Structure 1
């Protein structure tokens, strides 16, 4: 597990980029690239990647590390294009377990990436370019 620096006083909100996971180590590159972009745009941002299966850290491991580093709010951003069983059923259950395990931390579950009109428009722009 990667040890994160303590959350700064003005940055008590952390972000978890949540994805499915894969045995292929190259699969993680786009997920980690999003985390890098967040850090470049907001250097004091607490952001980490977490995975449902086949990769580490898991969502509970990431949340535990962020809470230990001082996060008082964690935004879980599912990097799924579609809203299948994992996004509709598995992830909400995981988030409820996190809320029970960390009652002093507000845990927000954001819509899946594919539900954002900005992403849909960006993908259309890329396809049309």
Structure 2
């Protein structure tokens, strides 16, 4: 079956390039072509095995993607990346603690609703950082409220780790929030830039192939 990565899509010009670059890396790891599709596509390629690049379990995963699969011909839907929350949370820890764990670490979700699995995994793992908190871009506790609270505590430096797959409009929004406080802030890379991320995606396809043979 043709393998396809299904992404949300973005008005940010670099988003498509990042998704296609990921597909190329996964193609090389698997030794076969991996295509790209987006949520606003009318149909998916016929006979595709589809891996949704979504970290949460919101409306897109629960309703929009199954509807797109149903409208397409002979497509098979693999679990979204919510099933990999523990691994992804560890990647976030890796990205923000490359130099040291003695940091004031703020981990940022898109929102809390629908991202409970990832939030739970992060709560367990982020304790390795000296000071740690979890906030979101679109719900409470919010990024601005946490940053303002830490500014009131007179913290001088904060490390922010976005739980975002790609650079895009959400990252721009986060950077705007970071610019609103008078604290030195360093930002970790997006998750797709972790050196093991493309291998994780390849392994999701491999796991399904093994399941089919058993």
State the TM bucket, normalised to the shorter chain: 0.5 to 0.7
1:107-118 pair list within 5 angstroms:
107-118=185-196
Q: Relative to 1, partners in 2 of residues 1:49 and 1:32: Cα closer, same or farther, differing over 3 Å?
A: farther
Q: Relative to 1, partners in 2 of residues 1:125 and 1:16: Cα closer, same or farther, differing over 3 Å?
A: same
Q: TM-score, normalised by structure 1?
A: 0.67
Shift of 1:69: 4.3
Q: Does 1:92 align with 2:180?
A: no
> What secondary structure does 2:166 align onto?
coil
> Does the CA-based 8 Å contact 1:13-1:72 persist in structure 2?
no
Paired position in structure 2 for 1:48: 133
Shift of 1:46: 1.1
The unaligned stretches of length 5 or more in structure 2 are 1-100, 208-214
Q: Does 1:21 align with 2:105?
A: no
User: How many Å separate the matches in 1 of 2:140 and 2:177?
Assistant: 15
Larger radius of gyration: 2
> Does the CA-based 8 Å contact 1:95-1:109 persist in structure 2?
no
Paired position in structure 2 for 1:38: 126
Deviations 1:21-79 (A, max 9, x none): 15x3x52331242232121xx2x6211111111x2111111112334445321111110
Q: Relative to 1, partners in 2 of residues 1:15 and 1:68: Cα closer, same or farther, differing over 3 Å?
A: same
The unaligned stretches of length 5 or more in structure 1 are 1-10
Shift of 1:81: 1.0
Q: TM-score, normalised by structure 2?
A: 0.43
The count of aligned residue pairs is: 107
Paired position in structure 2 for 1:60: 144
